[in-house]
Structure 1
Amino acid sequence: MIKLQNVTKVYGNKTVVDAVSVRIQEQRLTAFIGSNGAGKSTLLSMISRLLKLDGGEITIDGTEVRQWNQEELAKTLSILRQSNHMNLRLTIRELVSFGRYPYSKGKLNKQDHAKIDEALSYTGISDIQNKYLDQLSGGQRQMAYIAMVIAQDTKYIFLDEPLNNLDMKHSVQIMKILRRLVDGLGKTVVIVIHDINFVSCYADNILALRNGKLVKNGETKQIITSEVLAGIYDMKIDINHIGGNDICVYYT
């Protein structure tokens, strides 16, 4: 379990994450939602130790995050950031192999290659694994990065806005993969995401931030209501029930 207690981040005189206390449940897909600047990505980065805390405490499986050995943390928690593109000319398979670095230190063995094959198959890109990243569409490239994270084979998987600039087809494919990681492999997936309808259809839990403060935390069905969403986004959002899902309408 991941537990946050009064977690705070300050830049200059601005508090971007303000004393957030919450527990992230295991084997669930949890979505961080909120408007731009709410503190979602900052909070994700602090949990994964990419940013230092200015206050409070984060524990992962009972150990404070700053006390984790870096190598062991990389075998427990993986993160895909927004700015994940590399300038190196790599094939998909070469990129995915980076996910095995915490185990292989660059010397891939039979087990590493098996994990790479599994990740490529899981994301449906085995047939193009020898293509170079600069030959891919945006959706294919993002799928390759998702495969890299899967190959890392961690208990916790964090993704910071993985659907950015993707078409509908690839967005749905990625959300289905994340859902399968939870349901089929027992992973704990945490995602920062703006599309509230993908959250409604695929997430188990929601953690909602506004101006750095935690305003709501709970099961998706409890958060996806017009009243609750109005307090998060400061706008009117109607909810329609379509095909067993709660669909948010906010275009009018």
Structure 2
Amino acid sequence: MIELDNVTKCYSGDTTIGPITTTIPEGGITALIGPNGAGKSTMMTMIGRLLGMDSGTIRVAGLNVHDTKSKDLAKILSILRQENHFVTKLTVRQLVGFGRFPHTQGRLTKGDEEIISRYIDFLHLEELQHRYLDQLSGGQRQRAYVAMVLAQETDYVLLDEPLNNLDIAHSVVMMRHLQRAAKEFGRTIIIVLHDINFAARYADYVVACKDGKIMEQGPVEEIMRDEVLSPIFNTPIEVIEGPRGLMACYH
């Protein structure tokens, strides 16, 4: 599990994240939701040690994120940020191969090649694996990035707004892939989402943030309620039972 104990991050002015004390359960998809500026991405990047915290402790699978060696942390925790700056003259297969670096230090074995192929197939990238990243659509490129993170084969996967810049159709495809990955590979996937209906449809657990703090958290059916969501988003929200499950309607 992922545990945060009294974690804070202070920025200039009055902006402060935390203190946050919470436990994110193992297994399935946990969605971090909340309005812009709620602290969702900050919390995720602190868990992934891409951003330092000013106080508190974060543990992933019992390991203290602050003082665990990078090579050890990278074998249990992987993270995909919003901004990716990979060289565009990489092929899809080369990109996915970067996910094996914590295990191989760049010396790929036959076993690593099989793992790379597994996730290329899983994300339906077989016909694109020898194409360069700048030859792909936004949706295809995002699938390649996710394949890279999955190829790292960590128990915990952090994804910061992986639906950013994707249309609805590609977003649905991506969430279905992630849902399958959590179930078939036994991963714990923590994902920052802006659209709470994707959280309602595909997540198992929801953490709702506002003003740098966690306001509510629990199973989807506990959080997807009018009286919970409306004050978090500062707007009337009605949750109804649709043909595909719970759905939030803004008023």
TM-score by length of 2: 0.97
Report what 1:193 is aligned to: 193
Report what 1:220 is aligned to: 220
Report what 1:9 is aligned to: 9
| Structure 2, unaligned runs of 5 or more | none
Report what 2:57 is aligned to: 57
The alignment's C-alpha RMSD in Å is 1.1
Q: Deviations over 1:71-101 (max 9, x none)?
A: 0111110000000142341110111111111
Cα distance in 2 for residues equivalent to 1:215 and 1:138? 33
Cα distance in 1 for residues equivalent to 2:140 and 2:100? 20
Query: Comparing 147-156 with 239-248, which one deviates more in the overlay?
Result: 239-248
Conserved? CA contact 1:16–1:38, under 8 Å: no
Conserved? CA contact 1:8–1:15, under 8 Å: no
Report deviation, 1:148: 0.4
Report what 1:79 is aligned to: 79
Q: Deviations over 1:192-213 (max 9, x none)?
A: 0101110000001111111001
Report what 2:119 is aligned to: 119
Conserved? CA contact 1:223–1:229, under 8 Å: yes
> Superposed, which structure 2 residues align to 1:1-252 within 5 Å?
1-250=1-250, 252=251
Return the letter of the residue paired with 1:76.
I
Conserved? CA contact 2:57–2:66, under 8 Å: no
Report deviation, 1:63: 2.1
Report deviation, 1:13: 3.1
Count of paired positions: 251
SS at match of 1:67: coil
Q: Deviations over 1:80-126 (max 9, x none)?
A: 00001423411101111111111111111111101100010110111
Return the letter of the residue paired with 1:243.
P
Q: Deviations over 1:212-245 (max 9, x none)?
A: 0110011111000111001210101112211141
Cα distance in 1 for residues equivalent to 2:238 and 2:37? 24
Conserved? CA contact 1:215–1:232, under 8 Å: yes
Return the letter of the residue paired with 1:18.
G
Cα distance in 1 for residues equivalent to 2:28 and 2:16? 26
Q: Deviations over 1:169-193 (max 9, x none)?
A: 2111110111112211110000001
| Structure 1, unaligned runs of 5 or more | none
Conserved? CA contact 1:96–1:145, under 8 Å: yes
Return the letter of the residue paired with 2:6.
N
Conserved? CA contact 2:80–2:149, under 8 Å: yes
Conserved? CA contact 2:88–2:134, under 8 Å: no
Query: Comparing 241-250 with 139-148, which one deviates more in the overlay?
Result: 241-250
Cα distance in 2 for residues equivalent to 1:57 and 1:85? 29
TM-score by length of 1: 0.97
Conserved? CA contact 1:91–1:129, under 8 Å: yes
Conserved? CA contact 2:35–2:233, under 8 Å: yes
Identity %: 46
